[in-house]
Structures are given as C-alpha cells and as structure tokens.
Chain A
Amino acid sequence: MTPNPAESVPKIRLRGVRKRFGSNVVLDGIDLDVATGESLVVIGGSGSGKSVLLKCILGLLRPDSGSIEIDGEETVGLSGRARDRVNAHIGMLFQGAALFDSLPVWENVAFGLIQGRRAGRAEARARALACLKQVGLRPSVAELYPAELSGGMQKRVGLARAIAAQPDIVFFDEPTTGLDPIMADVINDLIVATTRDLGATALSITHDMASATKIGDRIAMLYKGRLIWVGGAQEVFDSGNAHVDQFVRGRAEGPITDEADAG
C-alpha cells in the first residue's frame, strides 16, 4: 500500500531549535516530531526550558536557530498576517489561564471568534456558551468576570477559550499547576475529552506526572535544554534512563541537581 504523503508529514516538526538568553542556553538543539492527532507531553523540572519551547512554537519567542514546521510549513520568522493564519489553527491553555480581566467570561471564550475571525457577537456568544457547557460550566458563569472565579473555574474557562475556535492543535502549559488533586484530575479528563472530540493534536508541558501519563500518548523529557528521552506514556516509569527515573519518582538523590534549574 502506498503511504498517504499527508500522513507522513508530522503536525509539528522541530529540528535543531536553539534559544539562549545572554549566556544562559535554554534550548540546545531540540529535535521533535508530533504526529497528527497525537498527544505529546514534555516533562522537565522548573526552569528546564519547557515554557520557552512552547513559546518558540507559538511564535511568541524567536529561536536563535533551527526549524519549526507546522503542517509542513516553516513558521520561524513568520509575522503579521502569516503568523495569525498559523495561530488561527492553534488553541492555548496558559498556566495561569491568562483570562482578560476586563471582559466577562463569555467574551473571553469568544475572543478569538470575535477579534480573530470577525464573527458576529450573537453567534460568538452562542458558541462560547456551548464551549462553557463542554467544560462543565453553567450558562450563568458566562456573565461573571474572571476575578469572580475560583482557580479551577478559571482553568475551565481557559480551556473553553482554547477550544472555542475548533483548533487543529492545542497547547497546554502546566494545566494542573495550582489545583487540588481532584480538580487537577477533572481538568485532565476535560483535556482528554475535548482534544479527542476535536480530533486535535495536543502538546502539553507539565511536571505533574499524574497529568502527563493521563493526557499523553507519548512523553518527552527536557533536561538542560535537550530532549534526553522520548517514549510511550506507559513506558516512562520503566525508561531505563536515570534522569527520567529520578524525575518521575520525585527523588532528591540522583543525577539531576539544583544546578540544572538554570533555565
């Protein structure tokens, strides 16, 4: 059987991505492929460069060198409308949800539709309410402001905003940080359900292993600016890599020291 060429092109493809801030090398030659429909989780300690990696892919930071392709299109150096066209297919859940304080919840969720896609307010509002329902929030929440919500509710609204424009790719930046274990599990379930419903490719960064194994098909570990291990989510506790082993079991003793937390 002849392989479909579209299937052989990874959704996200990174080659030799490097980024440094002054003398501090944060990403030191990252090679990574994320297949269409796959959920990949990047794990690593605080300051290991996970957020920088995500921001480079999103175009919020420009790598010093290397290539980042989305759907086979080179995105490094894209700006203006070309960047907006790429980002229109991407949804993002930020670590602190990053909701707009000045807008009510429904306008936060519908923001990408109203501003980015020029949808009518009534249509965007209906879509926002549907997304809020999808993440388990009542319609009455739509009129509240972000400051009136709990941390877990803010994450749900952030998730609703990330999926509102029905993106092909969704990024999750530390989706469970700051949540209690039950709420963290609820958010993990929502992430799995919403990305499955969308059929989207997901790239998450986290240091929460419960979250990583629940939402990821594959897991990659970032250490000192390099991906030191990539494998299936179920193999991570039996990786044979001393660094990965120390991280996933949360041990103070091992090859990873505080010195590594320089990113």
Chain B
Amino acid sequence: MNFLAIVGRVFLAFVLQVGRFAMFTGRAVSHIVRPPFYPRLIARQMVEIGYYSLPVVGLTTLFSGMVLALQSHTGFARFSAEGAVATVVVISLTRELGPVLAGLMVAGRIGAAMAAEIGTMRVTEQIDALSTLSTNPFKYLVAPRLIAGITMLPLLVLVGDIIGVFGGYLIGTTKLDFNPATYIARTVEFLETIDVVSGLVKAAVFGFVIALMGCYHGYHSRGGAQGVGAATTNAVVSASILILILNYVITELFFAQ
C-alpha cells in the first residue's frame, strides 16, 4: 500500500470518529432535556458519583491543601510574604486544584465504571434488548449519567474545596504557627465569588465530559472482554486529557485580560 493511501485511510478514520462522537454527543444532550425521565436511575447515578466519590475527593483535596500550605510557606518565606499562605491556598484550590483533581479522580473511578458497565451491556446484547423493549438506550443509560455528572461534580468540588482549605488550616495553625482566627480571616478576605464560581463551572463541565466519555466508549465497545477493557482505558484517558485541555480553555474564558 502506498504512503498516500495510508494517510488517506487514517484521515478518513479520524473524520469518521469525530463525526460519530459529535452525533453521539448531540443525541445524548437532546435526551437530557426531552421526557420521559428516569428519576430512579438519575438518583442512583447521583449517589454513585456524588456520595461514593466523596472519600477519594476528600482525601485528595485534604492533602493538596496541606501540601499547598507547606510549599507556599517555604516559597513565600524567601521574600517575607508568609502572610499570603491562606489566600494562596484558598484561591489555588477553588480555581484550579479542586475541580481538576476531583475531575481526574472521578474520571478514574466513575468514567471507568461507566465504560465497563455499558460496554458489558453492549457485548452481551443488553443494549439491543433495551431497544426491543421500547426503551431508548440513550434515555435509559446515557442521560441519567450525564445529568448526575453535571450536577454532582460541582457539589463534590464544593465539599472538596472546604476540605482542602481545612487541610491548609491544619498545617497553617499546627506547623506554621498561624493564629487560627487570622488564618480564617486571610482565607475569606481576598476570596472573590468568581474564584469559587469559576471552579464550580469547571466542575460541571468536567462532570459532563467524564460521563460522556464513559458512555461513549462503553456504547461503542466491540469484541468481548478485550473490547470492554479497551473502552475502559479509552474512557479514562480521553476524559483526563479533555479535563486538562478544557481547564485551560475555561480559565482563559474567565480570567484572560
């Protein structure tokens, strides 16, 4: 096969994938807003994403807040700006670390689980069975997961932010000799609404991306156990990469001068 044919084949495969993904996203979004809805399934996914991810996200943000306090203190001590530690911790967490770390952790936990579950349903013909029972798989499987992802990630990040700030507070008051009242005052003094809101918007977008990638790769998995394994890997990797790219894009939209 000549070189041009290979390039052409790769390009066509790429265009096919992009088109398929765009159509999947369009269908998925359209089913979020159109009845019938499945409240029981949405609630189940909300518990799965929100409640069961809380320990992972809480631990991640707790230690991130602690290490932020330590690192910023040693850095700022070089130019006698130790007083900014509390502000740096809260702004870093609410704007960046909270949503990004929570997003990556949830992508690993939930994105993989979604891809594996839906992928298994695909290869065992359960998705075909749904269609024959007059139930739209997009409405029954995809829409509840997207709704749960969009709503639960911001709540998780909000709780994660608070836990992370608490981590910084713990280190600040026990190791770095900050007065507790001063640390809390510094935390809220320079914090602006947009710092928190931008983080929550990011979280909602990341929640959508994680659920979408899990569902998309699961839905299109082929070839038995190996195909489901590949779908799981692809879901986590693609969601993680998209989280990092979209984090930059949203930051640019909110804060670029």
* A in complex with B: yes
Q: Across the interface, do B134 and A94 meet the contact criterion of CB distance under 8 Å?
A: no
Q: What is the number of contacts between chain A and chain B, taking CB atoms within 8 Å?
A: 53
A59 touches which of B129, B131, B140 (Cβ 8 Å): B131
Q: Across the interface, do B135 and A94 meet the contact criterion of CB distance under 8 Å?
A: no
Q: How far is the CB of B16 from chain A (nearest CB, A)?
A: 12
Q: How far is the CB of A77 from chain B (nearest CB, A)?
A: 15
Q: Across the interface, do A96 and B124 meet the contact criterion of CB distance under 8 Å?
A: yes
Q: Across the interface, do B135 and A58 meet the contact criterion of CB distance under 8 Å?
A: no
Q: Across the interface, do A92 and B124 meet the contact criterion of CB distance under 8 Å?
A: no
The answer to whether A100 and B125 touch (CB under 8 A), given A115-B135, A116-B134, is: no
Chain A interface size, under 10 / 10 to 19 / 20 to 34 / 35 or more: 20 to 34
Q: Across the interface, do B131 and A87 meet the contact criterion of CB distance under 8 Å?
A: yes
Identify the closest chain B residue to A173 (Cβ). Answer: B125
Is A98 an interface residue, CB under 8 A from the partner?
yes
Q: Of residues 88 to 113 in A, which have CB atoms within 8 Å of B's CB atoms?
A: 88, 90-92, 94-96, 98-101, 111-112
Residues of A within 8 A of B136 (CB): 80, 84
Is A60 an interface residue, CB under 8 A from the partner?
yes
Q: Of residues 87 to 133 in B, which have CB atoms within 8 Å of A's CB atoms?
A: 120-121, 124-126, 128-129, 131-133
Q: How far is the CA of A262 from the CA of B128 in the complex (A)?
A: 23
The answer to whether A60 and B131 touch (CB under 8 A), given A98-B125, A100-B126, is: yes
Residues of A within 8 A of B132 (CB): 58, 60, 87, 90-92
Q: Across the interface, do A98 and B128 meet the contact criterion of CB distance under 8 Å?
A: yes
Residues of A within 8 A of B131 (CB): 58-60, 87
Residues of B within 8 A of A55 (CB): 128
Q: Which of B121, B125, B135, B136 counts the most A-chain CB atoms under 10 A from its CB?
A: B125
Identify the closest chain A residue to B131 (Cβ). Answer: A60
Identify the closest chain A residue to B120 (Cβ). Answer: A101
Q: Across the interface, do A98 and B124 meet the contact criterion of CB distance under 8 Å?
A: yes
The answer to whether A112 and B124 touch (CB under 8 A), given A92-B129, A94-B129, A100-B129, is: no
Q: How far is the CA of A95 from the CA of B129 in the complex (A)?
A: 11
Identify the closest chain B residue to A85 (Cβ). Answer: B134
B134 touches which of A101, A115, A161 (Cβ 8 Å): A115
Q: How far is the CB of A228 from chain B (nearest CB, A)?
A: 27
Residues of A within 8 A of B140 (CB): 115
Q: How far is the CA of A98 from the CA of B128 in the complex (A)?
A: 8
Identify the closest chain A residue to B128 (Cβ). Answer: A60
Q: How far is the CB of B81 from chain A (nearest CB, A)?
A: 54
Residues of B within 8 A of A58 (CB): 128, 131-132
Q: Of residues 123 to 138 in A, which have CB atoms within 8 Å of B's CB atoms?
A: none
Identify the closest chain A residue to B133 (Cβ). Answer: A112
Residues of B within 8 A of A95 (CB): 125
Q: How far is the CA of A88 from the CA of B132 in the complex (A)?
A: 8
Q: How far is the CB of B124 from chain A (nearest CB, A)?
A: 6
Q: How far is the CA of A92 from the CA of B130 in the complex (A)?
A: 11
Identify the closest chain B residue to A91 (Cβ). Answer: B132
Q: How far is the CB of A130 from chain B (nearest CB, A)?
A: 18
Q: How far is the CA of A59 from the CA of B120 in the complex (A)?
A: 21
Residues of B within 8 A of A88 (CB): 134
Q: Across the interface, do A116 and B135 meet the contact criterion of CB distance under 8 Å?
A: yes
Q: How far is the CA of A55 from the CA of B132 in the complex (A)?
A: 10
Q: How far is the CB of A67 from chain B (nearest CB, A)?
A: 21
Identify the closest chain B residue to A112 (Cβ). Answer: B133
10 tightest CB-CB pairs across the interface, nearest first? A116-B134, A98-B125, A112-B133, A98-B129, A84-B134, A92-B132, A115-B135, A94-B125, A98-B126, A87-B134
Known: A87-B132, A95-B125, A115-B133. 17 other contacts (CB 8 A): A55-B128, A59-B131, A80-B136, A84-B134, A92-B129, A94-B125, A94-B128, A96-B125, A98-B124, A98-B125, A98-B129, A100-B126, A100-B129, A101-B120, A101-B121, A115-B135, A116-B135
A sample of 6 inter-chain contacts (CB < 8 A) reads A58-B128, A80-B136, A84-B136, A101-B126, A111-B133, A115-B134
Q: Which residues of A contact B (CB under 8 A)?
A: 55, 58-60, 80, 84, 87-88, 90-92, 94-96, 98-101, 111-112, 115-117, 161
